[in-house]
Amino acid sequence: QQQVKQSPQSLIVQKGGISIINCAYENTAFDYFPWYQQFPGKGPALLIAIRPDVSEKKEGRFTISFNKSAKQFSLHIMDSQPGDSATYFCAASGMFSGGSNYKLTFGKGTLLTVNP
Amino acid sequence: GAVVSQHPSRVICKSGTSVKIECRSLDFQATTMFWYRQFPKQSLMLMATSNEGSKATYEQGVEKDKFLINHASLTLSTLTVTSAHPEDSSFYICSARLLRGSTRGQYFGPGTRLTVL
């Protein structure tokens, strides 16, 4: 199973609030979990990434929480701002048989709207 | 650092013509480049993986004769949509992975909007 399930599909948050997006995976061979931010008409931008040997990683207002036993990881955006309004994708990659290209498997995305 | 460019950003063509999209890593060398397509309000769908100097590996269901990929150097990959039809209209995005370093991150280009009339 190489699926990554992402929820919610859309999220509305007030300015200053916390945005939380969740992802779950099945394949324990995944060992790299990035989050991407995409604005309309633009390519995705790498926000933050984590490996399964740590449970949390923080970069500025963005935090990834990782639960290896539950095979879940989440993105927390603290003090959400209108400029954070975008689509967020979680992804996962790992070294599978057949090569080391580390293909990314993406979640379906979450449309975040931060109201002023 | 880790900037990826795509050209053109937008192209409109007639049905039956071929379109070439370039993907360049501007400030790093990329062992591997990936090509995705994205339909409105949907996730990215991997089309193929290309390694410099070797044939591209296509995902299941992607026609290799229709979507020709050439990875001529460590900084340039091209996607040619041959005999394009309206159903090929989509947002095409490339990404590149760094040659060295521990990062596994892929860095994405800004995308190319293809419209086939």
Could you tell me the mean pLDDT of each successive run of 10 residues in chain A, 116 residues long?
89 98 93 94 93 93 96 98 98 70 88 97
Q: β-pairing, B10-13 with B112-116? A: parallel
Helices and strands, counts by H and E, chain B: 0, 11
For A39, the closest chain B residue by CA position comes to B110
Average pLDDT over residues B3-12: 96
Cα→Cα distances A101→A83, B31, B51, B59, Å: 33, 9, 9, 13
DSSP B5: E
What per-residue confidence (pLDDT) applies to B101?
Answer: 54
Quick check: B64 and B81 in contact, CB under 8 A?
no
Q: Is B57 in contact with A36 (Cβ distance < 8 A)?
A: no
Per-residue pLDDT reduced to its tens digit, B60-108? 999 999 999 998 888 999 999 999 999 999 999 999 987 655 566 789 9
Q: Is B111 in contact with A32 (Cβ distance < 8 A)?
A: no
Distance separating the N- and C-terminal Cα atoms of chain A: 40
Interface of B with A (CB under 8 A): 4, 6, 32, 34, 41-44, 46, 49, 51, 57, 91, 93, 95, 97, 103-111, 113
Per-residue pLDDT reduced to its tens digit, B18-59? 999 999 999 888 878 999 999 999 999 999 998 888 889 999
Mutate to test the interface with B, among A32, A51, A57, A102 (most CBs of B within 10 A): A102
Alpha carbon distance B114, B117 (integer Å): 10
Alpha carbon distance A31, B57 (integer Å): 22
Alpha carbon distance A34, A51 (integer Å): 9
Which residue has 């500025």 as its token pair? A60
Tell me how far apart the 2 most distant CA atoms of chain B are, in Å: 44
Cβ neighbour number for residue B90 with a 10 Å cutoff: 21
Quick check: B66 and B82 in contact, CB under 8 A?
yes
- Whether A44 has its CB under 8 Å from any CB of chain B: the answer is yes
Residue B87, phi then psi, degrees to nearest 5: -70, -10
